[in-house]
Structure 1
Amino acid sequence: MITRIGIKPEHLSGVAHSLGKIMADEFVLYTKTLKAHWCVTGPDFHSKHLFFESQYGQMEEIVDDVAERIRSLGHFPPATLKEFLSLTHLTEQSREKNDATGHIKELLADHESILIHLRENIDGYVTAFHDAGTSDYITGLMEKHEKMAWMLRAHLE
């Protein structure tokens, strides 16, 4: 069925493709946050285990929201690990230690990378695709990542 929401089909396709890349980033970060929850070690294990659980819960909601945004535009989101890894600009490689500080540094770098990517592309949703709704949606997504990044950063200060 054709989605008739005042945006040309080719623009809807462009937005959906862009959001698919964002969703891939979100899913990779969600997986890395799960890894931190499962694999963290050290004397602060319990508190960091709970902290990472809170963060992966937030990431799970973000992944679902992005997928539903894509569906609301009449397209299907990427939904396989192969697709996510081909679309993401993040790496699934661990660059830090398996302790809380190592996980926090890596997750913080990924949140900041996503924030930069979102900021660099937010205006295009309005100018290139004539989709102020997705631009607004991306603003809200940035705010979520800013808060999560702040929480991670606070552990390093």
Structure 2
Amino acid sequence: MSNEPTTPAIGIDEKALKDINAGLAQTLADTFTLYLKTHGYHWNVTGPHFRSLHLMLEEQYQALFAATDELAERMRALGDTAPGSMAEMLELATLKDHEPTDDALQMVKNLQRDHEKVAATIRPLAEAADAAGDGATGDLYNARLNFHEQTAWMLRAFAS
């Protein structure tokens, strides 16, 4: 049995599938990077708002981790292989993966910025997927866009 990607006969042009999968791979890598950063901050947050921030970050990293599976499985459904190593994730990610700080407010600001960046990256990918006739990927992107925008808002509100 081969691990090579195959082009599914689902009515989407092969070049469009390649472009869609490239966008999904980058989104997966950014999501995984943001998951790791959020989880690390969850472990290491301290200060007067420890409990509320610790719990909020836990909710966020759990949602991010679940999203990595959705994104990877969408790539598989579209006939491609998903990145599956740290090296691949770091190569594809546009987010900074290592920003250690012991300042809880700086953690919040770093995560807010990253969620906003992912949202800005996803928006044109959703439009491109829809234009290629891939409404399922467009729907997935729109759900991710909603999550990142809402999470950025919550982090902004926390920091203000």
Q: TM-score, normalised by structure 1?
A: 0.90
1:139 aligned partner, one-letter code? N
Tell me which of 70, 74, 82 is aligned to 1:77. Answer: 82
Distance 2:152 2:7 in 1: 38
CA contact (8 A) 1:11 1:130 kept: no
**Match for residue 18 of structure 1?**
23
TM normalised by structure 2 equals: 0.88
RMSD: 1.7
CA distance in 1, matches of 2:147, 2:52: 22
Match of 1:133 among 126, 131, 136: 136
Unaligned residue ranges in structure 1 (runs of 5+):
none
- The Cα of 1:6 is off from its aligned counterpart by 1.1
Give the CA deviation at 1:66.
0.7
2:108 match? 104
Query: How many residue pairs were aligned?
Result: 155
Q: Partner of 1:140: helix, strand, or coil?
A: helix
Counterparts of residues 1-157 of structure 1 (less than 5 Å): 2-94=7-99, 97-127=101-131, 129-157=132-160
* Greater mean alpha carbon deviation, residues 31-40 or residues 147-156: 147-156
Task: Choose 105-114 or 143-152, whichever is displaced more.
Answer: 143-152
Identity of aligned residues (%): 36
Distance 1:111 1:105 in 2: 10
